[in-house]
Amino acid sequence: MPAFSLLRFVISKTTDMKKILLSIILLAVFGMSNAQTDQGDWMIGGNFRLIASDNNTVIGLTPNAGIFIINNLALGGNLDLVYSKLGDRKTTDFGIGPLLRYYFTKANVRPILHGSLNFTSEKVKITNGASTTNNGINYFLGGGVAIFVSDQVSLDLLMGYYHSKLKDFDGSGGFALSIGFQVYLLQRQMDKVRGR
C-alpha cells in the first residue's frame, strides 16, 4: 500500500508540474501578445542592406526612432546612410526625414503600414578626382509585418515602393524589400531615463 500511495503522490505532483509549466508558457505567450505600442511608448531601430554583384557594391544603414502619438501609430524620424561603388564611381548618400508607422493589431505578428520621406544629399566621386554633389528627395511607401520575438523587440519585414529624385535628374523608383528590427521602450522606461 505505501508503494501505491507513493505512486499516486508522484503522479499528482507530475500533474501539478505540468499545470505550472503550462501556466508559465501561457503567461509568456500572453505577455508577448501584449507587446507595447501604446501612446507615449517609443521605438528605436532600423535596417541594414547589402547588395554585392559584379563590380557593384551597395551598403546602406537606416536608423530610426519614433514615439507613439496614439495607440499603434508612431511618428518619428530616420537617417539614410548609403555607400555605393560602381566601377570607378563612388557615391555617398546622406538623408534625413520623417517617418510614420501604423500597427494593426496587438498580436505577436502585426501587420504594419510604413512611410518615410528623406531629404538627401548625394556626393559622387570618380577615380580621376572629379566629384559632384546633388540634392533631392526619396520616399518609401509600403507595408509588411512586425514579428515580435519578445515583449519589446520585433523583427520587421517591409516591402513597397521606393522612389528617388535628385535635382536636375530624372527620378527613378521600384519595388523595395527591407529587413530590420525595432526595440520598444515603454513610457515608464523613458521616464526613468529622463529622471522623472
Name which residue leads in pLDDT, 15 or 70.
70
pLDDT score at 141 = 96
Mean pLDDT across the stretch 53-70? 89
Residues 55 and 95 in one domain: yes
Is 42 a residue whose pLDDT tops 90? yes
pLDDT beyond 50 at 64: yes
Q: Which residue has the cell 503522490?
A: 9
Give the Å distances, CA to CA, from 156 to 45, 48, 134: 10, 11, 31
Q: Domain count for the chain, please give it.
A: 2
Whether residue 97 is found in the same domain as residue 54: yes
Q: Are residues 18 and 63 in the same domain?
A: no
In this prediction, residues 123-147 reach a mean pLDDT of: 90
The DSSP call for residue 71 is: T
Question: What single-letter DSSP state applies at residue 186?
Answer: -
| 193 vs 189: CA distance, rounded Å | 6
CATH of the domain at 66: 2.40.160.20
pTM of structure: 0.75
pLDDT, tens digit (0-9, with 9 covering 90-100), for 72-115: 999 999 999 999 988 888 999 999 999 999 999 888 999 999 99
What string of H, E and C letters represents the secondary structure of 109-144? EEEEEEEEEEEEEEEEEECCCCEEEEEEEEEEEEEE
Please identify which residue in the block is written with the cell numbers 538627401: 120
Q: Indicate if 151 and 171 belong to the same structural domain.
A: yes
Q: Is 17 helix (H, G, I), strand (E, B) or coil?
A: helix
Is residue 188 domain-shared with residue 119, that is, in the same domain? yes
Residue 146 has pLDDT above 60, yes or no: yes
Range of the domain at 5: 1-33
Same domain? For 53 and 82 the reply is: yes
Residue 157 backbone phi and psi in degrees, to 5: -120, 115
pLDDT band at 30 (very low <50, low <70, confident <90, very high): very low
The pLDDT score that the predictor gives to residue 194 is 72
Whether the predicted pLDDT of 5 surpasses 60: no
**Do 90 and 24 lie in a common domain?**
no
How many whole angstroms separate alpha carbon 110 and alpha carbon 45? 16
Grid coordinates given for 171 = 527620378
Query: Do 17 and 111 fall into the same domain?
Result: no
Query: Predicted confidence band at 169 (pLDDT cuts at 50, 70, 90)?
Result: confident
Which pLDDT score, from 0 to 100, does residue 15 have? 59
68 and 3 assigned to the same domain = no
**pLDDT greater at residue 13 or residue 127:** 127
The mean pLDDT of the chain is 83
First to last CA, the chain: 64
Same domain, 144 and 67: yes
pLDDT of residue 7: 44
